[in-house]
Amino acid sequence: MQLHVQGLTKHYPGVAALDGIDLDIASGELVALLGPSGSGKTTLLRVIAGLLHADKGRVLFGETDATRLSLRERNVGFVFQHYALFRHMTVAENIGFGLRSRPRARRPDKATISKRVQELLQLVQLPEHGGRYPDQLSGGQKQRIALARALAIDPSVLLLDEPFGALDAKVRVELRRWLRKLHERTGQTTLFVTHDQDEALELADRVVVMRAGKVEQVGTPDQIYNAPATPYVFEFIGRANVLEGRVEQGRFQSGALQLDAADTQDGPARLYVRPHDLVLSEPGSGALPARVRGVLRLGGRVTSELEIAGHARLLEQETFDAGGAPGLSVGEAVHLRPTRYRVFAHAD
Amino acid sequence: MADRLTERSNPPLRDPLQEPAWLRALLIGAAVLSMALLVVLPLAMVLASAFGDGFRAWWEALAEPDALSALRLTLFTAAIVIPINAIFGLFAAWALTRFEFRGKRVLLAFIDLPFAVSPVVAGLCLVLLFGTNGWLHGVLQEHDIKILFARPGIVLATLFVTFPFVVRELVPLMQQQGADEELAARSLGAGAWTMFRRVTLPNIKWGLLYGVLLCGARAMGEFGAVSVVSGHIRGLTNTLPLHVEILYNEFDGTAAFAVASLLAGLALVTLILKFWLEARHGDALAHSHRRH
Amino acid sequence: MSSLALPTTRLRSRNPLPGFGLSLGLGMAWLGVVVLLPLAALAVRAAGLGPQGWLRALRDERVQEALKLSFGASLTAAVIASVVGALVAWVLVRYRFTGRRLLDALVDLPFALPTAVAGIALTAIYAPNGWVGKLLVAYDIKVAYAVPGIVLALVFIGLPFTVRTLQPVLETLGREPEEASASLGASRFTTFRRVIVPELLPAWLTGFSLAFARSLGEYGSVIFIAGNLPYKTEIAPLLITIRLEEYDYNGAVAIAALLLVASFVCLLVINLIPLLFEKKAKRNG
């Protein structure tokens, strides 16, 4: 089921939670809404679900304008951060709740519901747990049951609100991988909200980076990471070194550093480069001289802090620890060159 | 593809998580009506009847000597009962919340007993203790002490009935607050009294006040238990509530309601103070009293 | 041979906090003297009656009528108070309207108001010449000096208990289970019936039991409006005082012991309710 959002706007007193959001999600895609708190990602999810009502704009499920439909009528599968399982019902009763609550005309018979519940329990790999109560389950198990419950009603889209936010780090990683596999099996159009970029980049087909109610960039994880469209996205995802300079006639200049910047207009600008995209090079045309101020080895990576003449902030350069290689030493003078980078005009 | 929407805003949809407006209005109306009939009306009746014959009559009823001595007795009783229950309540709460010992749950259950006992039964218990053939009757005779049909009896009956109020406020509060601050004080070398005065008391002061407030209100309004032990001797062993009863039974409605209005005023003051405490210092009271 | 044994030091106290002995001692002494001693006097006296004596005292027809009235009226009143209380609690927590805070404060009035004041006020209102009483006279409905008046007074005093036990539970319920239920397609009524009500049931039952226990022993609010006709509108606590005045201590003790036992059973039930509901969850472990 395709999902389209057009011109969605929602205001709260004094703040625009959503400011004209347009989004197109293809059928079967797994899309992440990524951003810090206040970016509007949860608001967007809730508007799509029908838990909140937008001031302007439309939400379309396929061809149907869902904007006028109530939460009940939209048939979305919503999974809450804190599971919201019904405490006094068994796992099986929870999963079957949606089907059992249908008006008599549309309600399947008991046997069918039972069968479906069992199928879903198998799908989420908790086949023996039907008779348990939610408080007898672990956090990860509860989340899987919540998913099963949402899937039971055969939703048009699956909406997950920070699904792993309440779990331990290790469980989170496991469940992430598990969700990816589940998605490949069900092919359900899925939208999930997260503030954890690792999660978004690892899990999603496409990532929507949001900030202050607007969409900053939409793209595959690769695009988001390697070709950020704005300085904000560059700094929000991964780590970034920032260098002030100027662009003149398609060339970025900062001190001795000279780089190609054909797409950027002339004027003051900033260079953005990731620590692992900085390599040591020979002194020469356009290379940046630097002095090593600190070296940190952690988890197979070597991070060097480098001082650039005329800049307050230290640059970070990162390489993998090639087993035993001496690496840089403090005080050493080196030359750097970025292999991948972005230059953004910076209006002062 | 986008069929771009016009600038017109969306009309408001029904909140999926709310009852329809007519049902809400009906429920609110029903609740308000029930409360009006049950609670507001009696209050209005007290005020209307008390001042029904004018301010003068109201004042005269209150200034009447028997009424005044009833007032004095009520205040006297409260003045004794409140400090006793407060101080012992503090000790009990300290023991219950800062230490582990067997029988804690039993102790807590016992503390709730007066709530479960009918006030008349409480009065009866005291009669069995101090009346003729009572356990302590012999001792009293020897020392010529009169408990029943005298002030001590009234004080004891009120003590029984208001027993749990202060403890029940302090225990959850002190449990919530935990012993960390007091332990820190001790680790820094504070003596017991210093620790209590400078760490414990400031933390519990609002809860203590709240408990004292409830205790006092109940002490001054207690009827059943006191009725059994007092002997109803006008001018001597009548508290305000008992005096109300006497006036009412003598068909002196205005006077009865005049005295009742005094008690009702007390109830209102208690409510206002309670409300203020919860609103201003809700975070310093046990969780159950948080207001939104 | 010299021993290297070190002198043993006695632990001064196992508790880093002071005053255990003192506070526990004082607390228990106070409990013992003020509460347990009087109750013991009753218990011993009641035991002294022996089962025969007790039953004989209770077999008296007047006593039986009084007990039936007390239990029946308390039960009815507790049911009414629970329903009205649930309504009021729901409205207070879920809806916003002018005067909500005032309504909230008023709920405590029956609790704060001295029982005698409540008693005479209710009587004055519902007596045949009272504000409401005279309206009802036209329909030949008698409230004051009859059983309905007793029930009314008991509902009055039971209301704060039913509202205040339900309110905090409603407040902490949170929206998520309802949102989940609605997202799964349930109607508002189904959500209420299958998601909200089960969550509220323990608290509701607790409120009911508290109101019942309180009504059973209530005296001041009731004796003015009851009429107090023996065999007709005489409540058990009143009969206790009458027996006392007649110096029929045994009679008084018999009734009092019964009421006491009933209250304790209520207390027990109230404390068992949360356990009961927890057990249900573990049954299908």
The pLDDT of residue A131 is: 92
Residue with tokens 């939670």, as numbered in its chain = A17
- Enumerate residues 6+ apart whose C-beta is below 8 A from A65: A58, A59
The pLDDT of residue B21 is: 86
Q: Which of A85-89, A114-118, A248-252 has the highest mean pLDDT?
A: A114-118
The pLDDT of residue B11 is: 56
The pLDDT of residue A151 is: 93
Per-residue pLDDT, averaged over B48-77, amounts to: 91
Nearest to residue A34, comparing CAs of A311, A317, A324, A233? A233
The pLDDT of residue B291 is: 46
Q: What digits encode the pLDDT tens for the residues B93-149? A: 999 999 888 888 888 888 888 988 999 999 999 999 988 877 888 888 888 888 888
Burial of A175 (0-12, 13-18, 19+ CB in 10 A): buried
Taking residue A289's Cβ as centre, other Cβ atoms within 10 Å add up to: 16
Question: Across the interface, which of C41, C253, C267 has its CB nearest the CB of B135?
Answer: C41
The pLDDT of residue B146 is: 82
Per-residue pLDDT, averaged over C12-27, amounts to: 81
Q: What is the rounded distance in angstroms from the CA atom of residue B27 to the CA atom of residue B94? A: 44
Q: What is the ipTM of this complex?
A: 0.85
Q: What is the rounded distance in angstroms from the CA atom of residue C239 to the CA atom of residue C259? A: 12
Per-residue pLDDT, averaged over A201-210, amounts to: 95
B118–C168: do the CB atoms touch at under 8 Å? no
Residues A30 and A190 sit within 8 Å (Cβ to Cβ): yes
DSSP strand pairing (A30-34 vs A190-194):
parallel
Res C149 pLDDT > 70: yes
Per-residue pLDDT, averaged over A292-297, amounts to: 87
| pLDDT confidence bin for A334, thresholds 50/70/90 | confident
Both tokens of C108, joined, read: 């405590």
Per-residue pLDDT, averaged over C71-91, amounts to: 95
Per-residue pLDDT, averaged over B253-259, amounts to: 91
| pLDDT confidence bin for C3, thresholds 50/70/90 | very low
pTM: 0.79
The pLDDT of residue B6 is: 40
**In sequence order, what are the beta bridge partners of A210?**
A215
Res C9 pLDDT > 60: no
Alpha-carbon distances, residue C75 vs A328, B119, C68, C81, C221 (angstroms):
85, 19, 10, 10, 16
Per-residue pLDDT, averaged over A51-55, amounts to: 87
Q: What is the rounded distance in angstroms from the CA atom of residue B54 to the CA atom of residue B44? A: 15
Q: What is the rounded distance in angstroms from the CA atom of residue B45 to the CA atom of residue C133? A: 13
Question: What single-letter amino acid sits at B5?
Answer: L
A54–B5: do the CB atoms touch at under 8 Å? no
Q: What digits encode the pLDDT tens for the residues B207-246? A: 999 899 999 999 999 999 999 998 777 778 899 999 999 9
DSSP strand pairing (A301-307 vs A30-34):
unpaired
Residues C159 and C104 sit within 8 Å (Cβ to Cβ): no
Question: Across the interface, which of C16, C117, C218 has its CB nearest the CB of B264?
Answer: C117
A71–B4: do the CB atoms touch at under 8 Å? no
B129–C90: do the CB atoms touch at under 8 Å? no
Instruction: Tell me which residues of chain A, numbers 29 to 88, contact chain B at a CB-CB cutoff of 8 Å.
Output: 50-51, 53-58, 67-68, 70-72
Res C12 pLDDT > 60: no
Residue with tokens 């006639």, as numbered in its chain = A249
Q: What is the rounded distance in angstroms from the CA atom of residue B24 to the CA atom of residue B75? A: 46
The pLDDT of residue A114 is: 93
| pLDDT confidence bin for C280, thresholds 50/70/90 | low
Q: What is the rounded distance in angstroms from the CA atom of residue C8 to the CA atom of residue C68? A: 68
Burial of B47 (0-12, 13-18, 19+ CB in 10 A): middle
DSSP strand pairing (A267-273 vs A241-248):
antiparallel
The CA radius of gyration of chain A, in Å to the nearest whole number, is 25
The pLDDT of residue B292 is: 37
Res B198 pLDDT > 70: yes
The pLDDT of residue A119 is: 93
User: For the stretch C102-119, what's the b/e string if a residue is b when 16 or more beta carbons lie within 10 angstroms of its beta carbon?
Assistant: ebbebbbbbbbbbbbbbb
The pLDDT of residue C284 is: 42
Share of chain A above pLDDT 70, in %: 98
Which helix or strand (DSSP H or E) is residue A24 part of?
strand A15-25
Q: Which of B6, B9, B13 is the best residue to mutate to test the A interface, defined by the most A CB atoms within 10 Å of its own CB?
A: B13
Residue of C nearest to A84 (CA): C177
Per-residue pLDDT, averaged over B28-35, amounts to: 92
Q: What is the rounded distance in angstroms from the CA atom of residue B198 to the CA atom of residue B190? A: 10
Res B248 pLDDT > 70: yes
Nearest to residue A236, comparing CAs of A188, A274, A268? A274
Contact residues on chain A for C177, CB-CB shorter than 8 A: 84, 86-87
Q: What digits encode the pLDDT tens for the residues C213-241? A: 999 999 999 999 998 888 888 999 999 99
| pLDDT confidence bin for B13, thresholds 50/70/90 | low
The pLDDT of residue C281 is: 54
Res C120 pLDDT > 90: yes
The pLDDT of residue A158 is: 94
Contact residues on chain C for A108, CB-CB shorter than 8 A: none
Calculate how close chain B gets to A334, using CA atoms only, in Å: 53
Question: What single-letter amino acid sits at C224?
Answer: F
Torsion of CA C81, C84, C89, C94, to 10 degrees: 170
Task: Kindly state the greatest CA–CA separation across chain B.
Answer: 105
Q: What digits encode the pLDDT tens for the residues A128-157? A: 999 999 989 999 999 999 999 999 988 989
Per-residue pLDDT, averaged over C116-128, amounts to: 92
Contact residues on chain B for A54, CB-CB shorter than 8 A: 10
| Average pLDDT over chain B, rounded to an integer | 86
Calculate how close chain B gets to C239, using CA atoms only, in Å: 10
Res C10 pLDDT > 50: no
Res B4 pLDDT > 50: no
Q: What digits encode the pLDDT tens for the residues B136-188? A: 888 888 888 888 888 999 999 999 999 999 998 899 899 888 888 888 888 77
Taking residue B59's Cβ as centre, other Cβ atoms within 10 Å add up to: 11
Contact residues on chain B for A53, CB-CB shorter than 8 A: 10, 12-13, 15
| pLDDT confidence bin for A102, thresholds 50/70/90 | confident
Taking residue C237's Cβ as centre, other Cβ atoms within 10 Å add up to: 29
Of A120-124, C118-122, C167-171, minimum mean pLDDT range:
C167-171
The pLDDT of residue A322 is: 66
Both tokens of B137, joined, read: 């009757």
Per-residue pLDDT, averaged over C75-92, amounts to: 95
Q: What digits encode the pLDDT tens for the residues A255-289? A: 888 888 888 888 899 999 999 888 888 887 778 88
The pLDDT of residue C254 is: 92
- Enumerate residues 6+ apart whose C-beta is below 8 A from B84: B159, C30
| Average pLDDT over chain A, rounded to an integer | 88
Q: What is the rounded distance in angstroms from the CA atom of residue B118 to the CA atom of residue C259? A: 8
Contact residues on chain A for C187, CB-CB shorter than 8 A: 72, 101, 103
The pLDDT of residue A319 is: 81
Per-residue pLDDT, averaged over B190-196, amounts to: 84
Nearest to residue B110, comparing CAs of B177, B167, B157? B167
The pLDDT of residue C14 is: 59
Nearest to residue C176, comparing CAs of A175, A133, A161, A131? A161
Per-residue pLDDT, averaged over A205-229, amounts to: 93
Q: What is the DSSP string of B190-225?
A: --HHHHIIIIIHHHHHHHHHHHHHHHHHHHHH--HH
Q: What is the rounded distance in angstroms from the CA atom of residue A274 to the CA atom of residue A123? A: 40
